Structure 1
Amino acid sequence: MKRIGVDVGGTFTDLVLWDDDGTVTVHKTPSTNHDPSIGTMDGIKVLAEQAGIDPSEIDMFFHGTTVATNIVLEHNGSDVGMITTDGFRDLLHIARKKRPLNYSNYQDLPWQKWQLVPRRNRRTVPERIDAAGNVITPLDEEAVRREVRVLRERQVEAIAVAFLHAYRNPSHEQRVKEIILEEYPEVFISLSSEVAPQYREYERFSTTALNAFVGPKTSTYVANLADKAAAAKVGEDVHLMTSAGGLVTARSASEIPVSLLTSGVVAGLLGGCAIGKASGFPSVITLDVGGTSADVGVAPDGRLRMKHLLDTRIGDYHAMIPMAEVDTIGAGGGSVAVVDEGGMFRVGPRSAGAYPGPACYDRGGVEPTSTDAMMVMGWLREDSFLSGTMAVKRDLAVDAVREQIAEKLGTSIEKAAMGIFTILSHSMTEAISLHSVRKGYDPRDFSLVAEGGAGPLYAWQIAEQLSIPRVIVPGHPGITSAVGLLTTDIRYEVPTTVWTASDDPDLALLQSEMDRLATEAGDQLRADGIPEQDVSLERSVDCRYVGQGYELRVPAPAGEITTEWVQQVADAFHEAHGRTYSQRFDDKSVQLVNIRVTGVGTVPHVEIQEIESGGTDASGAIKTTTRALFWERDSADPVWVDTPVYQREKLLAGNTFTGPAIVEQFDSTTIIGIGQQATIDKVGHIIIERASA
């Protein structure tokens, strides 16, 4: 079976073709931002040619995309109208009444400055359902028709429908959908009861509006890609990565495109989990460093952690959707270094981007970046940048670092370059600490998986700072997100709000709702053609102590809902609360707020193959020696060292060498520092650890 993973980024589209015989073919191509499906299909054709196959021989097509994310971040979504309950017109404007700057009278509130739905297009109609699902005020259907016609005259491209307590009783929203289809059939429709069927009005309204905002453009893109893939006979269907780490079909992605937010970011974490398991170290911290940003994820025992639904934001907006715990900071190869007017030395988050890019690119950029610093330090060489396919100039990097950093600080160019690297690596170290130490996990119990084009350049130093025992550099660091697409299953999560407590649980409600969710999740998988034997169901519950305002998600056992079942859930919550907040209250009642059923449709996963063994001697992989700048652990004095440069493709299982050393390959460069040792494991990953004394 041949499977392809395609991850579309803002600058490059990464592709990997995996054959069951162990053959791996990788390719990078520029993204076509006006229509990413063009770059994707062109890349697939080139990749197939490299592999010596016809595109029609590809059995499965997995895809991660930033299309929906970029629409939100760039504020260029569709014109949206909203129909909501009388009295709730301004809920999107008021939000949670929180301000980014608490004491400033002069600030733009992002959700007000860049509104998802302009006030004139937020239309209200008489209707009311209470929290128990009882109809208090019947839906005024004539009012609905009148407002839909207003929105049609204004030529909105999408309509969001969000009513009070629709998560408990969706009948009014469903009737509005029927009326919209009669009055304005070509418009994109987004119902809160389908997008986010849970309590919390503002977050539910915001998520529904976001779905409408990204819906028309994203669904058009997905449809174009699916049509082109079908025409080329690539795979049976296009499966897209969601923010929760599962795959959905093109049909589902077109209906709820908000689920695709952070798609590619999560794929990188999944790829890191698979890489850690293949090397025998399942608990991983992933560091995916690109040109503009660094993505950090923590997966104890190779399991994804999910964000709290009040923390799942994209840009300036709340998105109450399942989202894996991965965060992004502005730190990458293009991060710009400056000495500001106050004499402060800063690096990032502003990036030079691909154009003009770092000074060494010779595209007109004059500001020094972290890539320029590594050129100065000798870690990146002119004749090996992207295996020599991209021309760069070291002297331009040297001039930029000297003139704009070293001379302004009154220091040497070596210390200036080292400072750029150190500041940026410190930012990444703090991000990892935030998501590990401060959330109850000890970095010393994890391995650091270095991903992206720049991740293996930073990982050695970050591991030193956090006492992480080892760094794992995968065979193809630059396309790890594409690999991650091939390591997961089709997943549909179906939630609902229940409100019951562990000391007096409503067992009948829990059982009936759990059964309904299981049926709905199973039906979605069957609609995608998943065989019954490949379907499984997972349960989880959002819990809190009675009186708290925030929940933690815990896994729930299978089987009949009994008082023992509820106690098992409560015990799991006590443990999760103790680990997260360092306190637990076993004598307190636990409130079960939301229940969830995740339908899992198992698809074949890639298996990382073992490579040829070659003994401990790695000298056969040395292609040259270069002068490079290094420093001892905790030392502030860099020194120039004659450093061997290894060719990654020639390294064999069992090869061992000590730092300082540089390992070059097409999609990345790996650094091994002084006092560190690198070993090639059986699947070809570089394992970097402290050398034995």
Structure 2
Amino acid sequence: MARIGVDVGGTNTDLVLECDKGIFFHKVPSTTKDQSIAVVEGVLQICDIAGVAKESVDVIAHGTTVATNITIEHNGAEVGMLTTRGFRDILHIGRHKRPHNFSLHFDVPWQSHPLVKRRNRIAITERILPPTGEVAVELAEAEVREACALFRRRGLRSICIGFMFSFLNSRHERRAREIVLEEIPDAYVSISSEVANVIREYERFSTVAMNAFVGPKSALYLRNLERKVSEAGIAAKLRVIQSNGGITTIDGCVKKPVGILMSGPAGGVLGALAEARLAGIDNILTIDIGGTSADISMVTGGRFRIKNAHDTVVSGHAVMSPMIDLETIGAGGGSIAFIDTAGGFNVGPRSAGSEPGPACYGRGGTEPTVTDAQVVLGRMDADKFLGGDLPLDPALSEKAIREKIAEPLGLSVVEAALGIIRVVNNNMALTIRANSVARGYDPRDFSLMPFGGAGPFHGVALAELVAARDVIVPVSPGITAAMGLLGTDLQYEHTRSVITPLFTADQPALDRVNAVIDELRAAGRHELDNDGVAPESRVFEVVAEVRYHGQGFELRVPVAAGRLTLANKSAVIAAFHAMHVADYGYAFDDSLVELYNIRVIATARVPHLALPLVALGQLDDLNWARLYERPTVFDDGSTHMTPRYDRRKLGIGTRVSGPAILVQHDSTTLLPPGYTAETLAHGSLKITRA
């Protein structure tokens, strides 16, 4: 039996295969027009590398940026919406929040790039009332049919339905869906009570609209991938990682693609967490630097964080879907350096991607990138990139930087290249600080873990800029996100609003909450049944989303016993106060605490990727691993004749002193003067000041 993790990035598609022969890694260029091409080709190639039959692959776990790219490029489906009469403009009004309070030129994404155009938002007569969900006005079915006729004339095939208070009673939404499918049988239909069955009409409507916006193209990609995998003779089960760090089925993603908006970056956090645990480290700052972007996150106490509900925003649109707490910026190996019209020196967010790629790739790219700067500074050897699979042309890098940056600014080519590196490093450091210091965490208590193909080039410099404790470089930095896909569990989440004042809650109120827990647990059990998960492999976690009465948003607090009782509700209240202190620095111990939503997470435990111990280091490891030496320019501007080492030949305890460059197929680690790298038990590197 073999398992494969496949992570698709903007530049490369990374693969890891685990079988009884060991663990194998591979990279192929991403095919941006159709990601499935690179995925299938990569799977077939890594099977050949490992010497295993493609028929023996049992599971393919996939991290994809398809849904993310749709939101970034604003090229999703044209959506039609049915909503309650009088509430047609909720998607336009939002929360009346200015994205930037003191800017005169700010953009309002939900208005400038609406998920549903106003002319396609059709008001329907119906009304459900709180707090019981009673029907005050029956659904006007004829109006739904008239709206469908309009959608047909306009060629709309993706329809979302969001009625007021449908989280209390979904009858009207379900009936409207039936009518839409009668009138437009091939429609992709999303209803808010299934996509985000919680209170807050704007966030609920925005989430169901986003589901309809990304749904058709995401479904097309996933079904196409499923078909191509089958046609290639691979009988594996396809699984997709979700934004919350769990994996799910293709069917689940097709129905609810809002759950995979942050699919790609989530794998990196999981892979980093797995290696941190092997190294015995609880606190890490993770930074995944690929060809297009850098994904930055923080792990505290050995657990990744889930974003607060008010922060779950994708391309400016509110999305009520749980996501790992991470930030993405346009900083990667392919980030383009340029001089703007005001004469400012910028790096990113525009990227050369994989097509045409950096200038040194020789594929027609003419703009200087971060990768070109690394080549000019002698850090990336032209004949060793990707193990020599992709030879680079240093002359093209030099030409791009000289013509576009150095000459216009009156700098030497080396000074311009150093400037590119310093600018991109400071851009990333600012985001790391915003994700740590600004939240009350001291980076001196954290190890910085750089990964992605470009990560270890920048690791030490970023650790210096943010004052991190040390640097931990994973075993295969360029494949870490793919490795994370084999280190997560099958997971389903179900949520429902059940507003209850906790302090004054009596037994009947708690019974009402527990009845909701039982319903959500049953829904998760049904999905695990469909996946054939054995009862002994199932775990159910109950999470209470709690706030102070009148507070804007809530925080997640675990319900350890899985049910609320008169005996344990005080523990939930205390845990909420503690969480509030951790997130905001204060708490109101005497204020009314209110349960807002209940969330049940149904999980199926699966075997995680098991990294083997590496061999003990020997006295001659450094001599054996030494390849050659070449002049290299470091961040302080100094040039040193710098040895290259084959990282795979360094055993446990072997120490390398800088200046040095540690080479491997999927990435390169830059070790400046004054630093030492030590190989840890499972092959990761610990870099500290000498």
The TM-score bracket by the shorter chain reads over 0.9
Please state whether the residue corresponding to 2:301 is helix, strand or coil: helix
Q: Is the CA contact (8 Å cut-off) linking 1:545 and 1:588 kept in structure 2?
A: yes
Q: How does 1:78-157 map to 2 (within 5 A)?
A: 78-100=77-99, 102=101, 109-132=108-131, 133-157=133-157
Deviation at 1:487, TM superposition (A): 0.3
- Which of 533, 538, 554 is residue 530 of structure 1 equivalent to? 533
Deviation at 1:310, TM superposition (A): 2.1
Residue in 2 that maps onto 1:265:
265
Please state whether the residue corresponding to 1:299 is helix, strand or coil: strand
* AA in 2 matched with 1:248: T
* AA in 2 matched with 1:303: R
Q: Is the CA contact (8 Å cut-off) linking 2:517 and 2:563 kept in structure 1?
A: no
Please state whether the residue corresponding to 1:204 is helix, strand or coil: helix
Deviations 1:64-118 (A, max 9, x none): 1111111222222222211111111121122223344556776653323333222
Distance 1:138 1:182 in 2: 19
Q: Is the CA contact (8 Å cut-off) linking 2:542 and 2:563 kept in structure 1?
A: no
Residue in 2 that maps onto 1:351:
351
Residue in 2 that maps onto 1:620:
624
Please state whether the residue corresponding to 1:496 is helix, strand or coil: strand
Residue in 2 that maps onto 1:389:
389
Q: Is the CA contact (8 Å cut-off) linking 2:546 and 2:594 kept in structure 1?
A: yes
Please state whether the residue corresponding to 1:380 is helix, strand or coil: coil
Please state whether the residue corresponding to 2:433 is helix, strand or coil: helix
Residue in 2 that maps onto 1:8:
8
2:547 aligned with 1:544, yes or no? yes
Q: How does 1:457-536 map to 2 (within 5 A)?
A: 457-505=457-505, 506-536=509-539
TM-score using structure 1 length: 0.94
Deviations 1:588-629 (A, max 9, x none): 221111111100011121111112222354221010011112
Please state whether the residue corresponding to 1:627 is helix, strand or coil: strand
Q: Is the CA contact (8 Å cut-off) linking 1:93 and 1:111 kept in structure 2?
A: yes
Deviation at 1:502, TM superposition (A): 2.3
Deviation at 1:409, TM superposition (A): 4.4
Distance 1:556 1:234 in 2: 41
Change beyond 3 A, Cα 1:508–1:222: same
Residue in 1 that maps onto 2:609:
606
Q: How does 1:287-366 map to 2 (within 5 A)?
A: 287-366=287-366
Q: Is the CA contact (8 Å cut-off) linking 2:157 and 2:184 kept in structure 1?
A: no
Please state whether the residue corresponding to 2:670 is helix, strand or coil: strand
Deviation at 1:658, TM superposition (A): 0.7
Change beyond 3 A, Cα 1:341–1:92: closer
Distance 1:673 1:104 in 2: 41
Change beyond 3 A, Cα 1:141–1:406: closer
Deviation at 1:173, TM superposition (A): 0.9
Aligned length: 685
Q: Is the CA contact (8 Å cut-off) linking 1:226 and 1:237 kept in structure 2?
A: no
Cα RMSD after superposing both structures: 2.0
Distance 2:562 2:74 in 1: 46
- Which of 620, 629, 633 is residue 633 of structure 2 equivalent to? 629
* AA in 1 matched with 2:440: G
Deviation at 1:412, TM superposition (A): 4.6
Q: Is the CA contact (8 Å cut-off) linking 2:144 and 2:176 kept in structure 1?
A: yes
* AA in 2 matched with 1:416: A
Please state whether the residue corresponding to 1:298 is helix, strand or coil: strand
* AA in 2 matched with 1:581: Y
Change beyond 3 A, Cα 1:38–1:350: closer
Distance 1:31 1:368 in 2: 21
Residue in 2 that maps onto 1:671:
670
Deviations 1:465-521 (A, max 9, x none): 223222222222111111110000011111111111222122122111111111111
Larger deviation: 451-460 or 34-43? 34-43
Deviation at 1:448, TM superposition (A): 1.8
Deviation at 1:653, TM superposition (A): 2.2
Residue in 1 that maps onto 2:46:
47
* AA in 2 matched with 1:197: N
Q: Is the CA contact (8 Å cut-off) linking 1:272 and 1:286 kept in structure 2?
A: yes
Larger deviation: 91-100 or 288-297? 91-100
Distance 1:341 1:229 in 2: 48
Deviations 1:360-418 (A, max 9, x none): 33444443322222222211122212222223222333344345444554555444332
Change beyond 3 A, Cα 1:683–1:317: same
Change beyond 3 A, Cα 1:149–1:406: closer
Deviation at 1:350, TM superposition (A): 2.6
Please state whether the residue corresponding to 1:26 is helix, strand or coil: strand
Distance 1:471 1:257 in 2: 35
Please state whether the residue corresponding to 1:13 is helix, strand or coil: strand
Residue in 1 that maps onto 2:398:
398
Distance 1:430 1:101 in 2: 18
Structure 2 unaligned runs (5+)?
none
Deviation at 1:6, TM superposition (A): 1.0
Change beyond 3 A, Cα 1:6–1:356: closer
Change beyond 3 A, Cα 1:680–1:420: same
Residue in 1 that maps onto 2:443:
443
Distance 1:399 1:559 in 2: 63
Residue in 1 that maps onto 2:183:
183
Larger deviation: 103-112 or 264-273? 103-112
Please state whether the residue corresponding to 1:211 is helix, strand or coil: helix
Change beyond 3 A, Cα 1:497–1:648: same
Distance 1:491 1:118 in 2: 34
Residue in 2 that maps onto 1:634:
none
Structure 1 unaligned runs (5+)?
632-636
Residue in 1 that maps onto 2:598:
595
Change beyond 3 A, Cα 1:500–1:48: same
* AA in 2 matched with 1:660: P
Please state whether the residue corresponding to 1:320 is helix, strand or coil: coil
Residue in 1 that maps onto 2:579:
576
* AA in 2 matched with 1:590: V
Distance 1:181 1:16 in 2: 41
Please state whether the residue corresponding to 1:42 is helix, strand or coil: helix
* AA in 2 matched with 1:530: V
* AA in 1 matched with 2:630: T
Deviation at 1:342, TM superposition (A): 4.3
Distance 2:456 2:616 in 1: 23
Distance 2:348 2:484 in 1: 28
Deviation at 1:214, TM superposition (A): 1.4
TM-score using structure 2 length: 0.95
Distance 2:277 2:369 in 1: 34
Q: Is the CA contact (8 Å cut-off) linking 1:273 and 1:283 kept in structure 2?
A: no
Q: Is the CA contact (8 Å cut-off) linking 1:469 and 1:690 kept in structure 2?
A: no
Please state whether the residue corresponding to 1:562 is helix, strand or coil: coil
* AA in 2 matched with 1:561: L
Deviation at 1:341, TM superposition (A): 5.0
> Alignment identity in percent?
45
Distance 1:397 1:146 in 2: 60
Change beyond 3 A, Cα 1:566–1:34: same
Deviations 1:413-444 (A, max 9, x none): 44433232122111111211111122232222
Q: Is the CA contact (8 Å cut-off) linking 2:294 and 2:428 kept in structure 1?
A: yes
* AA in 2 matched with 1:57: S
Deviation at 1:274, TM superposition (A): 0.7
Change beyond 3 A, Cα 1:140–1:654: same
Q: Is the CA contact (8 Å cut-off) linking 1:56 and 1:232 kept in structure 2?
A: no
Deviation at 1:248, TM superposition (A): 0.6
Distance 1:397 1:184 in 2: 54
Deviations 1:237-277 (A, max 9, x none): 21111111101111111111111111011011101101111
Please state whether the residue corresponding to 1:59 is helix, strand or coil: strand
Distance 2:326 2:444 in 1: 19
Change beyond 3 A, Cα 1:590–1:639: same
Deviation at 1:459, TM superposition (A): 0.5
Please state whether the residue corresponding to 2:194 is helix, strand or coil: helix
Please state whether the residue corresponding to 1:674 is helix, strand or coil: coil
